Amino acid sequence: MKLISRIVSRLSVALLILLAVWATMFHYIMVDEINDETDDSLEEYSEYIIMQALAGKELPSADNGTNNSYHIQEVTAEYAEQVSHVEYFDREIYIESMKETEPARVLRTIFRNADNRYYELNVMIPTFEKSDILATILWWSVSLYIILLLTIIALNAWVIYRSFRPLYALLNWLDGLTLGGEVPPLKNDTKVTEFRRLNEAMLLNTKRNNEMYEEQRSFIGNASHEMQTPIAICINRLEILANDPSLTEEQLGEVLKVMQTLDHLSRLNRTLLLLAKIESSQVTESSEIDVNKIVKNITADYSEVYSARGISVETTEEALLKFTMNESLASTLLSNLIKNAFVHSPERGIVNIHISSRYISISNTAEGDILDEKLIFRRFYQDNKKSGSMGLGLSLVESICRIYGMSIIYDFRNGLHRFTISLSKKPF
């Protein structure tokens, strides 16, 4: 979720709660204020009637053409002692002039005359329907909420976008960065102190990371290059020593083991050198590569090498597949995947190769369970240690695919490990 969406959604929820509380408080405050004004009118009217009754004057008509009406009756002393002498409440009353029942505010008063006789006076004023006013307040609150919400969303989106433009510019700049590549100038002028400090920190860290990456890449490349010559000399001298007739069979076996170790180290150095060249973009020559043809040559070679294990190869060619890339890297890419399938297949296993106009997939019989797709492309990662395996094959494949904008996808189905190379990074 984008930052602007998160801010607006939280503001919307907060505003909803705030308006709900406000509408509830407004309803009760308004009802209380209306009741208070109505009670004052009832009190004045009741005082007038009581004064008229105590003075022995003629009382006004109960239905005098106004909203006010009253009812007076004599009560016992016991009743007068049991009830409150002044009480306000709401009730439904029948209005004779309107021939209907309406809600009213009622004041009930107990008073006593000079003869110690008690009377109960009920003074009534028709009032509003509280359910109607509640519905009105609710409708207007919802309308107000919708209007405020839309206004706040639009206003906040505009304010946040304007305020966060330096952040968006920084993100766009980061998207254009390539580890080990040239650091482009950061054009992100802003007067906001936090953004200026963030720009400086990102620029400084990017340059520092590139320097560290370059030092690491140079070290690996230089170390591998410098080691290649001594390793070749050692292998050559061991070959000469192996031809010495004075060596015993046990000594010859030890020499051959050392030669195998040095050969493994030599191949490891060559692979590291190739990785260093790929990541520093030193491999630039590209041409249109016939993938079908390369696959045929590689499978023929490996079928002979691994024929003793009884591994069968099935190649399905739906169409002609061509990559535009360096020819040497194309051979390395396909050779690593096909060799990986042969090496990790059990005896009497199957290697399936499927070629279409958009992708090539290479699958092999699985010796174990599904591999961890988050780890298999890491350098020197080996799920099942195989003799002669350096743990760099899939890392090299992933690096080649990355620089040419292709995707390498691993999946496990029907007991087969499958690697698929697609011409685009989009899933198919």
> Using one digit for the tens of pLDDT, what is the confidence trace for 325-380?
878 788 888 888 888 888 888 888 889 999 998 899 999 988 777 776 677 777 66
Looking at the structure, tell me whether residues 91 and 21 fall in a common domain.
yes
Question: Residue 332 falls within a domain, yes or no?
Answer: yes
Looking at the structure, tell me whether residues 35 and 131 fall in a common domain.
yes
Which segments of 323-368 does DSSP mark as H helices, in order? 327-343
Question: Residue 166 falls within a domain, yes or no?
Answer: no
Of 382 and 351, the one with more pLDDT: 351
Nearest-10 crossing angle of helices 193-242, 249-279: 150
Q: Which of 246-260, 269-283, 369-383 has the highest mean pLDDT?
A: 246-260
Q: Give the domain-ending residue among 279, 300, 324.
A: 279
> Using one digit for the tens of pLDDT, what is the confidence trace for 399-420?
888 878 888 888 888 888 899 9
Looking at the structure, tell me whether residues 291 and 416 fall in a common domain.
yes
Q: Give the domain-ending residue among 82, 114, 148.
A: 148
> Using one digit for the tens of pLDDT, what is the confidence trace for 133-152?
667 777 777 787 778 778 87
Looking at the structure, tell me whether residues 233 and 295 fall in a common domain.
no
Looking at the structure, tell me whether residues 11 and 108 fall in a common domain.
yes
Looking at the structure, tell me whether residues 16 and 114 fall in a common domain.
yes
Task: Work out the burial of residue 276: count CB atoms within 10 Å of its CB; fewer than 13 is exposed, 13-18 middle, 19 or more buried.
Answer: buried
Looking at the structure, tell me whether residues 220 and 343 fall in a common domain.
no
Question: Residue 229 falls within a domain, yes or no?
Answer: yes
Looking at the structure, tell me whether residues 269 and 234 fall in a common domain.
yes
Q: Give the domain-ending residue among 217, 245, 279.
A: 279
* Beta carbons within 8 Å of 286's beta carbon, 6+ residues apart: 324, 325, 326
Q: How much of the chain, in percent, has pLDDT values that exceed 90? A: 4
Looking at the structure, tell me whether residues 120 and 15 fall in a common domain.
yes
> Using one digit for the tens of pLDDT, what is the confidence trace for 214-237?
777 777 667 766 777 787 888 888
Report the pLDDT value the prediction gives residue 354, as an integer from 0 to 100: 92
Of 302 and 217, the one with more pLDDT: 302
Question: Residue 355 falls within a domain, yes or no?
Answer: yes
- Give how many domains the chain has, as a whole number: 3
Looking at the structure, tell me whether residues 274 and 294 fall in a common domain.
no
Structure tokens at 100: 């209907």
Q: Measured between alpha carbons, how far is 113 from 56 in angstroms, rounded to an integer? A: 10
Residue 260 has pLDDT above 70, yes or no: yes
Which segments of 83-182 does DSSP mark as H helices, in order? 130-163, 165-175
Angle at 400 between CA 394 and CA 405, to 5 degrees: 120
Starting at the earlier edge strand, list the strands of the sheet with 118-126.
Answer: 69-75, 118-126, 100-112, 86-95
Residue 391 has pLDDT above 70, yes or no: no
Residue 224's domain spans which residues? 193-279
Question: Residue 139 falls within a domain, yes or no?
Answer: yes
Q: Measured between alpha carbons, how far is 330 from 328 in angstroms, rounded to an integer? A: 5
Looking at the structure, tell me whether residues 217 and 261 fall in a common domain.
yes
Looking at the structure, tell me whether residues 347 and 382 fall in a common domain.
yes
Which CATH number belongs to the domain containing residue 75 in this structure? 3.30.450
